[in-house]
Structure 1
Amino acid sequence: MWPEKCQFRFGKKSLLFSSLAVAVLVVLSWYSYFPETSSNWHSRYGFSCKANSEGSVFFRSSPDNVNVIKLKRMVYPKSETLKPPRTNVLSVSPWLAPIVWEGNFNIDILNELFRQENVRIGLTVFAIKKYIRFLKTFIETAEKFFMVGYPVNYYIFTDLVGNVTNFNMTVGPRKQLIFLEVPSYERWEDVTMRRMQMIRDFTKQRFASEVDYLVCLDVDMIFQDHVGVEILSDVFGTLHPAFFVKGRDKFTYERRPESQAYIPEDEGDFYYAGGYFGGKVEEVYKLTNHCHHAMLTDKANNIEAIWHDESYLNNYFLYYKKPTKILSPEYLWNERDGTAFYLRKIRFIALHKNMDEVRT
């Protein structure tokens, strides 16, 4: 029971008056806290979805998050649940990472989504020693086919800055050529393994503040078809064209148990190429940092993995961080492997060269 002095007695009129007063106070308090009209008050805590006069749809986030996402009206064929566009190739990994093939994505939809995010893309390439001869053609073809319409920083690691800056390379709007001077190691094996360290170091020093995604490629290649935002993901790898139809026992993993790159013969998902990987800047940092430290451990034990940085990359993708997207061999091909019915496009292809000559 309430104490006598705290008890309240109301007649019918008093009760009605008090109820109305409370209701008025609640309404006034509501509108003082939610000044928006009742039709969109919920945008403070979630989002509103409306159709404008042109039929477009937009989502408005809370006032604390002022980004406005707009989706233009787009007309395209409806996806058929029981009719996948590709049935002759694997389109998803066992851990549900998409495998990117021509025919299983709509680039127009992807462009709309990525442009809303204002993504900035960095491309790293190493033009060291004799490999500078491939740089001009690489950049010229990238300008035609790589991330067309997006801002791109071409990060060119080279030991011959004075030479490559005289190549008369030009790039389009919102594109930049950035030359990063790095040491020239005596052996080509050291050059390829040190790439992980160099990418890691520059990611921390500058890439993290300049771009959102990094794409790390070999320079002795050319683009010959579209390569766009369909490749972007948290971290992606690329199926090696020489191994993607072979069993894991044929993969050239590092097989010595004493190496940090070791993978036994009865393990492995795919064989990934060392010359084509990437992802969000922070994920590329984790990948390159891990591989660099694994190499240092092996070097202290006088071990050099069979395929250098590629061996450590495969170990990382198997045991530490599986790719969230996998690129099909369309994105890395070699003419010596011929053509195949499953390749609807060949987007990035190795140049013919005398490997012994360019590596000495």
Structure 2
Amino acid sequence: MAYGQPQLLKPSRNDVLVVTPWLAPVVWEGTFNIHILNQQFRQQNATIGLTVFAVKKYIIFLKLFLETAETYFMVGHRVNYYIFTDQPKHVPQILLQKGRQMAILRVQSYARWQDISMHRMEVISIFSQRRFLREVDYLVCADVDMKFNDHVGVEILSSLFGTIHPGFFWLRRDAFPYERRPQSQAYIPQDEGDFYYMAALFGGSVPEVYRLTKACHEAMMIDEAGHIEAIWHEESHLNKYLLHHKPTKVLSPEYMWNNGPLNLTPCIKRSRFVILQKDGKTMRTNDENIEKGFGEGRWPVSPPHLPATLF
């Protein structure tokens, strides 16, 4: 391949952190050459699994998720979609590219989203051991109420990766919405923490994802036995796990954006995976109405302007 020589005295980005204190890359636009990475992963002959849970009314997001994944996710590589749903008959028929296949896996329907999130960790850990180890090399776990908005490729893959939450990345660690009650297995003290990771996008090698999801599920079961529920459910436990088991790659907030204007955050050059706006009360069933109002109630007020020298 012909490409420009890397320059040791010319950093790829000087406005953001590009490597963590434990030497894990932080992936931003401009920090990688996708053509080099594609060639390296093709030499590995890698297959990537993508898990998504479309349970209860969240099934309405699945069509857009899959259609945009076919346009932007791991283009040119083998992909196995694993659709976990309580409504197999309502999974949309999507024309898949060559080298891609879909498995529809029935799961139980739960009364509360908190129960779904807890059993999501359990289900991924079980299937990692029983099936994914034989079928894929890497596993990407994503929420269904998203759409791919730009290229998301092999640059995200690593032994274990997490994604920085777009709502909190400029805050001090003591302002992160970690679980602060010592009674919970997800407890993180005020003076600890690296980043606040979002549970909507994480992954890695199958053995590492198995260890993560198994540990999170076990911690959630201990909390349940103690009659306590972490403030952000599996996301709180994910953050506790990644604090003590450092990810080998960290995805910047451009990999999980909330569709806000990029000109207010100059460090964000592209929005690659976008959180769909939705009305959490009615969950209307057409794409136009789904995008009318995001009502999760968990986003702090965005800063009016982030300086170019953010870090």
Asked whether the 8 Å contact 1:145–1:223 carries over to 2, the reply is: yes
Say whether 1:75 aligns with 2:2: yes
| Other-structure match for 2:292 | none
RMSD across aligned positions (CA) = 1.2
| Other-structure match for 1:310 | 235
Q: Which runs of 5+ in 1 are unaligned?
A: 1-73
Report the alpha carbon displacement of residue 192 of structure 1 after superposing the two structures with TM. 1.5
Report the alpha carbon displacement of residue 79 of structure 1 after superposing the two structures with TM. 1.2
Pairing partner for 2:197 from 261, 269, 272: 272
Give, as a single letter, the amino acid of the residue that structure 2 aligns with 1:81: L
Report the alpha carbon displacement of residue 336 of structure 1 after superposing the two structures with TM. 4.0
> Per the alignment, do residues 137 and 331 of structure 1 end up closer, same or farther by CA in structure 2, a change over 3 Å counting?
same
Asked whether the 8 Å contact 2:262–2:268 carries over to 1, the reply is: no
Task: Please identify, of 116-125 and 347-356, the stretch whose mean Cα deviation from structure 2 is larger.
Answer: 347-356
Pairing partner for 2:251 from 316, 327, 342: 327
| Other-structure match for 2:117 | 192
| Other-structure match for 2:49 | 122
Structure-to-structure mapping, 1:34-49, within 5 angstroms: none
Report the alpha carbon displacement of residue 337 of structure 1 after superposing the two structures with TM. 6.6
Matched residues, number: 283
Structure-to-structure mapping, 1:231-270, within 5 angstroms: 231-270=156-195
Q: List, as ranges, runs of 4+ consecutive aligned residues in structure 1 with deviation greater than 6 Å.
A: none
Pairing partner for 1:230 from 155, 159, 174: 155
State which structure, 1 or 2, has the greater radius of gyration over its C-alpha atoms.
1
Pairing partner for 1:173 from 95, 98, 108: 98
Q: Percent identity?
A: 59
| Other-structure match for 1:141 | 68
Report the alpha carbon displacement of residue 163 of structure 1 after superposing the two structures with TM. 1.6
Report the alpha carbon displacement of residue 356 of structure 1 after superposing the two structures with TM. 2.9
Asked whether the 8 Å contact 1:241–1:337 carries over to 2, the reply is: no
Q: Distance in 2 between matches of 1:338 and 1:146?
A: 21
Give, as a single letter, the amino acid of the residue that structure 1 aligns with 2:276: L
Structure-to-structure mapping, 1:23-172, within 5 angstroms: 74-164=1-91, 167-172=92-97
2:12 partner SS: coil
Report the alpha carbon displacement of residue 205 of structure 1 after superposing the two structures with TM. 1.5
Asked whether the 8 Å contact 1:213–1:278 carries over to 2, the reply is: yes
Q: Structure 1-normalised TM-score?
A: 0.77
Kindly indicate whether structure 1 or structure 2 has the higher relative contact order, using CA contacts under 8 Å at least 6 residues apart: 2
Q: Distance in 2 between matches of 1:355 and 1:255?
A: 26
Q: Distance in 2 between matches of 1:237 and 1:252?
A: 16
| Other-structure match for 2:206 | 281
Q: Structure 2-normalised TM-score?
A: 0.89
Report the alpha carbon displacement of residue 224 of structure 1 after superposing the two structures with TM. 1.2
Asked whether the 8 Å contact 2:27–2:252 carries over to 1, the reply is: yes
Pairing partner for 2:219 from 289, 294, 311: 294
Asked whether the 8 Å contact 1:91–1:98 carries over to 2, the reply is: yes
| Other-structure match for 2:270 | 345
> Per the alignment, do residues 237 and 337 of structure 1 end up closer, same or farther by CA in structure 2, a change over 3 Å counting?
farther
